[in-house]
Amino acid sequence: MSTLSSLLIALIFLPMMISLTAMPYLTRETISFGVTVSEDNYRSETLHRMRRSYSMYSGILYAVLFILCIIQLLRSNPVQQNGVIGAYIVMVILISAVMNVIYYFKMKKLLPSLPSTPAPSMLAVDTSFRQGKLVLSNKWFLIHVVIILAGLIAVLNRYEQIPSLIPMKFDLMGNVTRSAVKSYRSVLYPSIIQTFMTLLFIFINWSIRNSKQQIQADDPQRSRRQNIVFRRSWSLFTVLSSFALLLLFSMIQLNMLGQINVNSLMLISLLTPIFVILFAFLISFRTGQGGSRISRPAAGSKLAPVNNDSHWKLGMFYFNRQDPALFMEKRIGVGWTLNFGHPLCWLVLLGIGGFIALTYVFAR
């Protein structure tokens, strides 16, 4: 593995590690490790210590795992390196899940000993919320459609000039590790993936707009502004990151036509995820969950937060058959999750699973 490859891998994984380590600081101030708390309690020294403890232990674990990953990458041959990276990602996900569950139960145990909030909770709803411009228009995805059609026409017009053996997979040094015999399925693979990917991102943009609103009762105007900035930021991320991924698959098509060299393709392949991850990293730290880090007041709210902990399993999975909302803000982390008690949730998961399966089939 070259020094440049090591640097690019570090640029991909370090922001991810920092985001996971800082996760308790990015949530709303009414949630601590998946459990509802008052803002005064969130700002107390007791919960400060818990957040510091979580960040310290998870940071140590991620750092050790990252060092082991780099060592293993240096020892592995080019074919094994993709497997090492895959195993590293799985381990990061497992560590994150275990840490969140451990601190969720710690928080549940601590909760009865925390001071109660005298003011009762209030639920605020802004009936004009969805009349405003919450996300970028899906018309931006028409650019994606034009690029997909251009690539499709190019490979069909020049099909006879494409080599009989097409490189399909590369290692970190740009060496071909798997090729496919030329066929319409193999040459149209990038266009098909681009199409499914664009449909998926359109759906994500739609879900950002239609997710459940959370308005703070004691300062609804500020809360509304925060939420709008949060949604628009992630909508912009959706449009731009999908465009970057679309261009990556267009580069793969150009490589089939012999219009781009392998080194350039490898560099673009690494720079694209770096762009996506750094973009998500910056938005997460700028806005926090639901826009809570934007114009955060010096003092916490005196109102008791709305408590629906009984519907959040392990503080992470929302299950409420009586709630018509399909998408809502995550309690742990930044972004949105599904209401697993909503029948459409399983159709969404089935669609995402189908997309992954189709990607695998066409990549073979």
Q: Convert the pLDDT of each residue in 64-101 to its tens digit.
A: 999 998 888 888 776 677 788 889 999 999 999 999 99
45-75 and 78-110 helices, crossing angle to 10°: 170
Residue 172 has pLDDT above 70, yes or no: no
HSE (CB half, 13 Å, CA atoms) of 337? 18
334's CB contacts (< 8 A; 6+ apart) are: 26, 27, 283, 284, 287, 288, 289
Counting residues of the chain whose pLDDT is more than 70, the rounded percentage is 92
Which pLDDT belongs to residue 129? 75
Among 2-6, 128-132, 175-179, 323-327, where is mean pLDDT lowest?
2-6
HSE (CB half, 13 Å, CA atoms) of 104? 17
Among all chains, which residue has been given the structure tokens 């930044």?
334
Range picked from 77-81, 321-325, 351-355 for highest mean pLDDT: 321-325
Q: Report, as an integer, the average pLDDT of 255-273.
A: 77
The C-alpha atoms of residue 183 and residue 190 are separated, in whole angstroms, by 13
Q: Label residue 229 by pLDDT band (50, 70, 90).
A: very high
Which pLDDT belongs to residue 171? 63
State the distance between the two ends of the chain, measured CA to CA, in whole angstroms.
Answer: 25
Which pLDDT belongs to residue 302? 73
The C-alpha atoms of residue 246 and residue 256 are separated, in whole angstroms, by 16
The DSSP secondary structure of 60-103, one letter per residue, reads HHHHHHHHHHHHHHHHS-HHHHHHHHHHHHHHHHHHHHHHHHHH
Which pLDDT belongs to residue 224? 87
What is the tens place of the pLDDT at every residue in 39-57?
Answer: 888 999 999 999 999 999 9
The C-alpha atoms of residue 115 and residue 40 are separated, in whole angstroms, by 9
What are the sequence ranges of the domains in the chain?
1-114, 134-363
Which pLDDT belongs to residue 254? 84
What is the tens place of the pLDDT at every residue in 111-157?
Answer: 999 887 766 666 666 777 777 788 999 999 999 999 999 999 988 88
Q: Label residue 202 by pLDDT band (50, 70, 90).
A: very high
More confident of the two residues 12 and 230? 230
Q: Mean pLDDT across the chain, nearest whole number?
A: 86
Residue 181 has pLDDT above 90, yes or no: no
C-alpha distances (whole Å) from 249 to each of 34, 40, 304 are 38, 49, 49
More confident of the two residues 82 and 184? 184
119 φ/ψ angles, rounded to the nearest 5 degrees: -75, 140
More confident of the two residues 71 and 5? 71
Residue 362 has pLDDT above 70, yes or no: no
